[in-house]
């Protein structure tokens, strides 16, 4: 199989163009033109890169940015729209600061699948992404109102909860037969990385809530700080679990102070702790600095007394960046003040500090969290950290030096819970919008597709209801983006192995993978690492002797990995797998599998041969309906000119159909043991 130079990826493309600049440029001195353009380019470039995008190219006055390639972040459409809004606002600020400037832009963001050249040297003018998504983004941009950001349907769908939009009239874009739906992005509806939790009752999680409650009990009786870190994949329900736990705390007269670290556009290293100080002191977002100082002083004085308060407030002011207040204290002084403040808060009411999204936290904040958890010995304080599993790769020894530490893994919902959540969400949605596929079967299918991840279940329900599509129409962009980010976070050789394994199928063999991988001798070692990462599972028995059998732990990973491969690579891969099955003799035992791989490799004749073998095998086992299915699949592959072959297959199919129809009667006639 060829090297993975090209991939199919879901990308968000941003186009930003100056309005009427070309006409204005005619009357300007060239140096002035350059100065204006430089300012605009710098502004666009900074916005794109600060949200994790990449500048693909400059076309005239237009700038094209790409989000989601070469690396996906999991929320690339949102990042792209935020970058667009940033360009709009930054230029407005430039204009306001200097009356000679009247820079106006049109910005558009469009999301969709593109073919991505991974090795492209964009700085040398090589294109990294190509596809309709790029052309549509450019056309949308040309139709955008001045100083505004317009987005296409996929971008809207993926960001509808985090960005505030106004619908626009459908646009008739050049080269498109049907009109394109478009929305005007007004502004951010939520802070970065935040999401609204749904109102449906929490499903499952009794064990995890009980574990947290037990730790809390311990904290209350021993008056000893305890750190619990909840680990789980994006969307699995860490924030929701913490929100449910907060209710328990309120129920016992305690309080929860919540702080979040941000994926981009941070508010200083200690941002999450600052939010907690603000909540404890009743400081609001819009308070003037003088009011903040008053509130902070009054809260600290009432907690620690006037004598100690002065020094603590001076340090907390540094955390809150309240301006110069003499010499900057040393770090241990800052940490000590933080500890004293938290002790004061916890002595007043049992307190839980929730630190969300530790995977994005600055190392200094992580040090502070460990400091608080290790030093507070006589106050009822519980510290709850929420983190995605990749956090451990930045901080492998997290919690190791603490006297009281618990790691709480949050697994996906089990099948029943997932089905229950899907059912709840479907019935809630069905009350408002029309749901094309209501019912138990849909809930079960949704739950299975989502691999038990509540966020994925929500997104699948939303795409089913809002877009009135079917489940088979493909994964929602949000889900594919999050799974793609998980794949992109893997070391290159492990990621490549997963992509290759995806061609073999949900179940695959190390021997087959060795045929596809560039370094066959490393396959076993890489599979071992992937098993350790909980991506694949080694099965106790292999259906092909002499080789290890594996299974993808999550079907979504296999599906997204497969969707990433370009068609030609898939074809080559399927041919190699089919050849492997033949060489090992597995094709005679599993003819349907061999047929599938030959068909996907574009080798119809071979596929038909194996489909007929599969049908014969099924008939021998009296699985007549299955046999009929194989005959139909074979007929779909035999060309119309091959009249005799088609007739032969149709005849066999008709006989099998008859047998299937009479199967219940035949069953009755079959002698039973002892008769």
Q: Which is nearer to ligand ATP, 149 or 455 (CB)?
A: 455
Q: What span, in angstroms and rounded, lies between the C-alpha atoms of 354 and 509?
A: 43
Query: Closer CB to ligand ATP, residue 64 or residue 384?
Result: 384
CB of 262 to ligand ATP, least distance (A): 12
Q: Say whether residue 233 binds Mg ion (CB under 5 A).
A: no
The secondary structure of 427-483, three-state, reads HHHHHHCCCCCCCHHHHHHHHHHCCCCHHHHHHHHHHHHHCCCCHHHCCCHHHHHHH
Tell me if 54 contacts Mg ion by CB under 5 A.
Answer: no
Sequence-separated contacts (24+) of 453-456 with Cβ below 8 Å: 453/233, 453/235, 453/236, 453/412, 453/413, 454/203, 454/235, 454/236, 454/237, 454/240, 454/413, 454/418, 454/421, 455/195, 455/234, 455/235, 455/236, 455/237, 455/482, 456/235, 456/482, 456/556
Q: Least distance from C-beta 334 to ligand ATP, angstroms? A: 28
- The DSSP secondary structure of 175-192, one letter per residue, reads T-SS-B--EEEEEESS-T
Separation of alpha carbons 577 and 508, rounded Å: 10
SS3 content of the chain, % helix, strand, coil (to 5): 55, 15, 30
Contacts with Mg ion by CB under 5 A: the residue count is: 2
Per CB under 5 A, does 261 bind Mg ion?
no
Strands 536-538 and 163-167: unpaired
Please, which of residues 31-50 interact with Mg ion by CB under 5 A?
none
Count the alpha carbons within 13 Å of 523 in the hemisphere toward its beta carbon. 21
User: Which candidate, 537, 497, 534, places its Cα nearest to that of 513?
Assistant: 497
The entry of ligand ATP, Mg ion, none that residue 202 binds, CB within 5 to 8 Å by partner kind: ligand ATP
Quick one: which of 429, 478, 473 has its CA closest to 456?
Answer: 478
Cβ-based nearer residue to Mg ion, 37 or 243: 243
Q: How near is the Cβ of 386 to Mg ion at its closest, in Å?
A: 6
User: Is 162 an interacting residue with respect to Mg ion (CB under 5 A)?
Assistant: no
Q: Which two tokens stand for residue 221?
A: 């009786």
| Segment lying near Mg ion (by CB under 5 A), choices 4-12, 235-243, 371-379, 536-544 | 235-243
Whole-angstrom Cα distance, residue 570 to residue 562?
8
In angstroms, the CA 86 to CA 43 distance is 9
d(CA 455, CA 197): 9
Compute φ and ψ for 469, nearest 5 degrees: -110, 180
State the minimum distance, in angstroms, from the CB of residue 557 to ligand ATP.
17
- Select from ligand ATP, Mg ion, none the partner in contact with residue 597, using the beta carbon and a kind-dependent cut-off of 5 to 8 Å: none
Question: Given the rule CB under 6 A, which residues bind ligand ATP?
Answer: 195, 197-198, 200, 202-205, 232, 234-240, 357, 388, 421, 454-455, 458
Nearer to Mg ion, 233 or 587 (CB): 233
In whole angstroms, give the CA distance from residue 94 to residue 262. Answer: 26
CB nearer to ligand ATP: pick between 346 and 418: 418
Q: Is 198 in the site for Mg ion (CB under 5 A)?
A: no
**Helices of type H across 98-205:** 132-143, 153-159
Asked if residue 453 binds Mg ion (CB under 5 A), the reply is no
Q: Least separation, in Å, of the C-beta of 210 and ligand ATP? A: 14
Give the Cα separation of 266 and 51 in Å (integer).
Answer: 11
Binding partner selected for residue 189 from ligand ATP, Mg ion, none, CB under the kind-specific 5 to 8 Å limit: none
Task: Choose among Mg ion, ligand ATP, none what residue 455 binds, the Cβ cut-off being 5 to 8 Å by kind.
Answer: ligand ATP
| Under rule CB under 5 A, residue 239 binds Mg ion | yes
Please, what is the minimum distance in Å from the beta carbon of residue 109 to ligand ATP? Answer: 21
Between 165 and 360, name the residue whose CB sits nearer to ligand ATP. 360
Phi/psi-derived region of residue 191, left when phi > 0, alpha when psi is between -120 and 50, beta in every other case: beta
Report, in Å, the least distance between residue 238 CB and Mg ion: 5
Alpha helices in 258-305 (DSSP H): 271-281, 289-304
We find the least distance from the C-beta atom of residue 196 to ligand ATP, in angstroms, to be 7
Which lies closer to ligand ATP via its Cβ, residue 16 or residue 477?
A: 477
CB of 268 to ligand ATP, least distance (A): 21
Nearer to ligand ATP, 61 or 459 (CB): 459
Q: Which is nearer to ligand ATP, 232 or 254 (CB)?
A: 232
Residue 357 CB, shortest distance to ligand ATP, in Å, is: 6
Contact of residue 234 among ligand ATP, Mg ion, none (CB under 5-8 Å per partner type): ligand ATP
| Residue 647 CB coordination number (10 Å) | 10
Query: Choosing among ligand ATP, Mg ion, none, which partner's interface includes residue 149 (Cβ < 5 to 8 Å by kind)?
Result: none
Least CB distance from residue 165 to Mg ion, whole Å? 23
Q: Which is nearer to Mg ion, 394 or 616 (CB)?
A: 394
Residue 238: CB partners within 8 Å, gap ≥ 6?
230, 232, 356, 386, 387, 410
Residue 143 touches which member of Mg ion, ligand ATP, none, C-beta under 5-8 Å by kind: none
Which of Mg ion, ligand ATP, none interacts with 4 (beta carbon under 5 to 8 A by kind)? none
CB of 555 to ligand ATP, least distance (A): 19
| CB nearer to Mg ion: pick between 238 and 258 | 238
Query: What is the three-class DSSP state of 252?
Result: coil
Q: Which is nearer to Mg ion, 228 or 293 (CB)?
A: 228
Residue nearest to Mg ion (CB): 239
In the complex, the residues that contact Mg ion under the rule CB under 5 A are 238-239
């Amino acid at each position: 199989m060829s090297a993975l130079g090209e991939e199919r990826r879901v990308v968000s493309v941003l186009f930003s163009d100056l309005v009427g600049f070309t006409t204005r440029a005619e009357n300007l001195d060239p140096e002035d033109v350059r100065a204006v353009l430089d300012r605009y380019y710098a502004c666009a470039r900074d916005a794109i890169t600060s949200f994790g995008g990449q500048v693909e190219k400059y076309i005239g006055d237009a700038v094209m940015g790409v989000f989601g390639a070469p690396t996906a972040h999991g929320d690339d459409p949102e990042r792209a729209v935020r970058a667009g809004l940033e360009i709009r606002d930054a230029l407005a600020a430039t204009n306001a600061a200097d009356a000679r400037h009247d820079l106006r832009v049109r910005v558009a963001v469009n999301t969709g699948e593109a073919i991505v050249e991974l090795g492209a040297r964009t700085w040398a003018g090589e294109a990294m992404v190509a596809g309709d998504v790029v052309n549509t983004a450019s056309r949308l941009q040309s139709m955008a109102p001045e100083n505004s950001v317009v987005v296409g349907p996929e971008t809207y769908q993926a960001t509808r909860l985090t960005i505030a939009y106004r619908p626009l009239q459908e646009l008739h874009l050049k080269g498109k037969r049907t009109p394109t739906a478009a929305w005007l992005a007004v502004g951010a509806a939520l802070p970065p990385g935040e999401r609204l939790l749904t109102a449906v009752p929490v499903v499952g999680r009794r064990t995890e809530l009980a574990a947290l409650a037990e730790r809390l009990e311990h904290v209350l009786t021993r008056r000893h700080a305890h750190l619990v870190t909840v680990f789980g994949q994006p969307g699995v329900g860490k924030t929701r679990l913490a929100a449910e736990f907060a209710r328990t705390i309120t129920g016992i007269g305690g309080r929860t102070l919540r702080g979040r670290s941000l994926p981009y556009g941070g508010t200083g290293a200690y941002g999450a702790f600052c939010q907690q100080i603000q909540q404890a002191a009743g400081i609001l977002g819009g308070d003037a600095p003088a009011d903040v100082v008053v509130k902070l002083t009054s809260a600290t004085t009432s907690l620690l007394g006037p004598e100690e308060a002065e020094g603590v407030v001076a340090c907390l002011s540094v955390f809150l960046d309240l301006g110069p207040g003499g010499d900057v204290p040393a770090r241990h002084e800052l940490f000590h003040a933080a500890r004293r403040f938290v002790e004061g808060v916890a002595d007043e009411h049992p307190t839980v500090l929730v630190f969300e999204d530790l995977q994005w936290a600055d190392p200094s904040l992580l040090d502070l969290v460990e400091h608080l958890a290790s030093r507070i010995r006589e106050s009822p304080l519980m510290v709850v950290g929420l983190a995605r599993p990749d956090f451990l790769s930045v901080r492998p020894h997290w919690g190791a030096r603490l006297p009281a530490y618990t790691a709480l893994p949050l697994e996906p919902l089990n099948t029943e819970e997932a089905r229950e959540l899907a059912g709840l969400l479907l019935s809630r949605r069905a009350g408002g919008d029309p749901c094309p596929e209501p019912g138990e079967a849909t809930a079960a299918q949704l739950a299975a597709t989502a691999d038990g991840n509540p966020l994925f279940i929500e997104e699948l329900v939303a795409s089913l209801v809002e877009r009135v599509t079917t489940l088979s129409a493909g994964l929602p962009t949000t889900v594919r983006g999050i799974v793609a980010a998980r794949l992109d976070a893997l070391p290159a050789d492990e990621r490549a192995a997963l992509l290759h394994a995806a061609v073999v199928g949900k179940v695959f063999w190390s021997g087959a993978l060795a045929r596809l991988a560039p370094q066959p001798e490393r396959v076993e070692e890489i599979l071992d690492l992937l098993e350790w990462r909980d991506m694949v599972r080694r099965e106790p028995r292999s259906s092909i002797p002499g080789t290890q059998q594996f299974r993808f732990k999550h079907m979504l990973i296999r599906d997204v990995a497969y969707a990433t491969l370009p068609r030609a690579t898939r074809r080559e891969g399927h041919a190699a797998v089919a050849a492997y099955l033949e060489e090992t003799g597995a094709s005679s035992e599993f003819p349907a599998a061999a047929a599938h791989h030959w068909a996907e490799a574009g080798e119809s004749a071979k596929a038909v041969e194996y489909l007929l073998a599969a049908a014969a095998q099924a008939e021998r086992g009296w699985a007549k309906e299955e046999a009929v299915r194989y005959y139909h699949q074979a007929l779909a592959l035999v060309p119309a000119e091959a009249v005799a072959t088609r007739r032969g297959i149709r005849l066999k199919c008709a006989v099998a159909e008859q047998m299937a129809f009479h199967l219940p009667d035949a069953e009755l006639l079959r002698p039973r043991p002892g008769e």
